[in-house]
Structure 1
């Protein structure tokens, strides 16, 4: 696509988005939502309360569900164990914590995965 065609295409997209934005500005439902949000934030600031406190007040069970989800996200998984493979054909040693090791993949393609797994020392 030429630069001029690309420019005109983007210009048309921008005009369409601007028209959509103007239509949304005149939407009564959007105006009500904006007014509600402003009043709610003002009320929260007046009483010094945060959104989480309001949610806990209105739905105490929501806090338990959210807390357990946050805890699961923060848990770190157990570090992988180091595996040492010894190639009996050439005496080469590979130490890896995962199965994505370049040399290990090469061996598995050459000698077979089950055979290479039998070379595992620790």
Structure 2
């Protein structure tokens, strides 16, 4: 029981400290200005039926293309695209380009020469 009471008292103290910090932030004039701007911007967007991404595209026309291509997000499932790795087998000179570790030739090389060796054969990595 003492540990539960001790934990409760600690949490109460943390809550009091956080409330004090929150109160200090609420009195911050810079925060008040930013909150006022955000509220006005949201009201304006609602009034004109616009979303945040619409506003970003208006302010920066390259926003949509850069947010998709620049961050390497696949349009099909929203995940980042893996970097393209170029491997060169020093024994045969064969070059393989792949974005995943499931490439047939890479698997064969790893089975024959070991994972550590094949990982060392990466000669280039592109986004």
Q: TM-score range by the shorter chain?
A: 0.5 to 0.7
Q: Does residue 18 in structure 1 map to residue 19 in structure 2?
A: yes
* Map 1:1-122 → 2, pairs under 5 A: 2-68=3-69, 69-71=72-74, 73=79
More strand by percentage: 2
Give the Å deviation of 1:24: 1.1
Bigger Rg, which one = 1
Instruction: Provide Cα deviations, 1:80-114, integer angstroms capped at 9, x if missing partner.
Output: 58xxxxxxxxxxxxxxxxxxxxxxxxxxxxxxx97
Hey, what does 2:92 align to over in structure 1? none
More helix by percentage: 1
Q: State the SS of the aligned residue for 1:60.
A: coil
Unaligned runs of 5+ residues in structure 1 are 82-112, 115-122
Give the Å deviation of 1:15: 0.6
**C-alpha distance in 1 between matches for 2:54 and 2:4:** 53
Unaligned runs of 5+ residues in structure 2 are 83-98, 104-110, 113-127
Q: State the SS of the aligned residue for 2:50.
A: coil
* Aligned residues: CA RMSD: 3.4
Hey, what does 2:87 align to over in structure 1? none
